[in-house]
């Protein structure tokens, strides 16, 4: 349904380091680099991060978050650890989320700009 999504960030270098580290365990890499924009994906960029003088203020009450698919539960665990090591903040440790489904395994972090990020694997253990 959605081809891509773009977010604005205050510091592109900081955001780039965060997303390079956090998304690598999920199999995503930076596939496009322009002066003020980075594009992450597997085969083509689908998550764009751009420097902005006025990024949308992150609001934990807004419900806004970005969820990335993970190939395995171990990848979700690695995403969480890498994100925290790259200046992310914990927003939910890796684990099953029975409220979402019997095999919904996810982890949640907050990126350096305050955006809520999730990694999810729906495969059975």
**Residue pLDDT tens, the chain, 125 long:** 899 999 999 999 999 999 999 999 999 999 999 999 999 999 999 999 999 999 888 888 898 999 999 999 999 999 999 999 999 999 999 999 999 999 999 999 999 999 999 999 999 87
pLDDT at site 104: 97
What is the pLDDT at residue 32?
98
At residue 101, the pLDDT reads: 93
Rounded CA gap, 118 and 103, in Å? 15
Tokens linked to 51 = 């420097």
CA distances from 52 to 2, 4, 33, 76, 125 (A): 22, 18, 15, 29, 41
Residue 100 is inside which H or E element, if any?
A: none
Beta-ladder partners of 105: 96, 121
Radius of gyration for the chain, computed over Cα atoms and rounded to the nearest angstrom? 14
| Beta-ladder partners of 119 | 68, 107
pTM of the model: 0.95
In contact, 66 and 83? CB cutoff 8 Å: no
Domains of the chain: 5-52+64-121 (3.10.180.10)
> What local confidence, expressed as pLDDT, does residue 125 receive?
77
Question: Six-digit token pair at 97?
Answer: 């989320």
Q: Note the pLDDT of residue 121.
A: 98
């Amino acid at each position: 349904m959605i081809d891509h999504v773009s977010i604005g960030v205050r510091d592109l270098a900081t955001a780039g380091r965060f997303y390079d580290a956090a998304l690598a365990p999920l199999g995503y890499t930076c596939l496009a680099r322009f002066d003020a924009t980075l594009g992450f994906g597997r085969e083509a960029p689908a998550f764009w991060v751009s420097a902005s003088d006025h990024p949308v203020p992150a609001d934990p009450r807004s419900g806004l978050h970005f969820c990335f698919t993970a190939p395995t539960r171990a990848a979700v665990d690695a995403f969480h650890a890498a994100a925290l090591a790259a200046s992310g903040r914990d927003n939910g440790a890796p684990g099953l989320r029975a409220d979402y489904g019997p095999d919904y395994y996810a982890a949640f972090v907050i990126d350096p700009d305050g955006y809520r990020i999730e990694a999810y694997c729906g495969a059975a253990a």
